[in-house]
Structure formats: structure tokens, C-alpha cells
Structure 1
């Protein structure tokens, strides 16, 4: 585990530089080989549900590598950061209803960036969601 696929670097000799080795690793990342996966779980998700794979990869890139949040996330969440909306979805509310409640309560989109909602706003959102049911 954690090794480059067998034979990916070919037979090494002293003329190979670190640049050649890194170029090979970059190519493996750009063009993954499903026959020799380093991460079995990621490979299975990649092959069976590519959109979920891409979403998880984007989430991890944001979380662990500081990548910017994808536009598709904020667009499908009414311009709000997904982390603001998801707790309400996890509680059983419909995503569109949550987005509507955020808009109704005047919650700032903060350019799609995550932030902590004040408790008063959380109460207003829950009240709006309860009224909508």
C-alpha cells in the first residue's frame, strides 16, 4: 500500500533523474490505471459511481489541500456553502426547502465560503422549515 504500481517506473538505472520519476507519478495521477489501484476504495468508487468519486475528490482537495470550493457545489446549494446546508439535510429536510429557508431568512451567501451561523439565524431557519412542512 502506498507504492507506485509495479513496473510503473520501469527498470531503474542511474540515468533516471528524480524529474523522470516524478513525471511518471504525475502521469499515473492524470491517467489512473484501474488494473493496479493504489487505493482500492477510491478505485471502486471511480469505476462504479464516477460523479460521487469526483465529488469526494473535490471535497478532499478543499479540505486537505486548500483547493477552492467548486462552483458546482455552491451553485447546486443556491450559492451557499454546502457545509451550511448539509446539517439540515442530514436532519431530514429537503435541500431545496433548506436553500429557500436560507434565502427567506436573509442568510448571507458569503461568496460560497463556509462560516458559522449565529444561533438566532439557526432558529429562524428551523422555524421556517417547520412552517413549510
Structure 2
């Protein structure tokens, strides 16, 4: 089981390194090769107080992974209602009740990045930050930006549009970014396979996780995410795997 976990983690890290578009970085913590202790990195999303900052996340992989979520906390100090300003602890359903084995380390980090665009002050990890965001959003943005400059290396400039003076356009843009990030999380479940290709089997009544697992077991080529018609022999192998006959 441990070797299966190590192989999955190694594959996830390789997939992250191969994905030049997500700008997500994950490596073993320190200079070691311990795949149960990792360090993640992502950029602060645009049109937020965190824009231009680089945020590091400590990641510890439990022995039950992927059936239990990774334990993540921010290394970089951040002023956000769903992250403890003292310990970096995170309040995010994806890392607790909404975790699924089909999710990955990358999809969890994308969810964290999305959380910076869509804070939830009514379900806080840090009551002080949440209270400030609700009572005085302009002050919240000022402090959040100041912390981003101080701890995350963001450039020294004020955010043009704050919570207290957001425009309809900026609200629409943030909503679209949150939607895009949500789509990224969903697509991560396909492990690089073309969505339409996998969904043809999902339409037969199988879930995405089982289909992707069968594809990987049989050794189906990802073809850089392109859709294509599978050879009949491969179709039989995949179907047999899905029905537990292989």
C-alpha cells in the first residue's frame, strides 16, 4: 500500500511539473526525497490583495492517502478569513469533508488559490480577520495587501479596486476566475486524459475516478489531452477492468 501511495505521489508531482500553464509548483520539502512531506507554491490571483505574491504551503501526506486528504497549511503568513494568521491552518471543505480520492495535490492547491479570490468570512478560520472583512472591507484589503508585500514578496502598490469600492466589472471578473478555478479542479480528476474520451465511459454509468483508474491500469496513451477513438482491444480491456474482470 505504501509503495502504491509513493507511486501515486511521484506521478502527481511529475504531472505538476509537466503542466506549464497552472503555475503550481510542488517539490519534496527541504532537500530530501521524502514524498510524504512536500512544499507547494502558487501565485496570488489577480484583482485580489494577494496579487503578485508567492505563497508557500506545507503539505503532509497521510498514510491513508488518497482516501484521506493531504494536511496543508500556509507557510507564508497571510491575512485571510479562512486561514489562521498565526498558524497558517486552513478552513476549506476540499481539504476535509469534501475530499475525494479522485482529487489530487494539484487540485487541492488550485482550490487554495481560488479561496484567495473567494474568501468566506461567515465560515472563518480566523475570527479577527473575518470580523474586519465584514465590518471594514477597505481596511481588510489594506492589511491583506500589506501582508502580501511583507511576507509574500508582492510589489509595493495598493490594489486599485478594494472590497469597499469594487466595480461591477471587477466583481464579474473575480466570479469568472472562481468559476475557471473550479473547472480546473474538476479537470484535474481526469489526470490529463481528454474529458470527452473519459466521459464516453462515464455515460455508461461508471464514475470518473474508476474510468481514469482503468485507463491508467491498461496503459492508455493520454495523447496530450486530445480526443481519439480507442482500438477495440483496448475498449475490451478497459471494460473488463471496470467490471472487475481484469
Relative to the length of structure 1, the TM-score reads 0.46
Relative to the length of structure 2, the TM-score reads 0.26
Relative to its length, the structure with more strand (as a share) is 2
Relative to its length, the structure with more helix (as a share) is 1
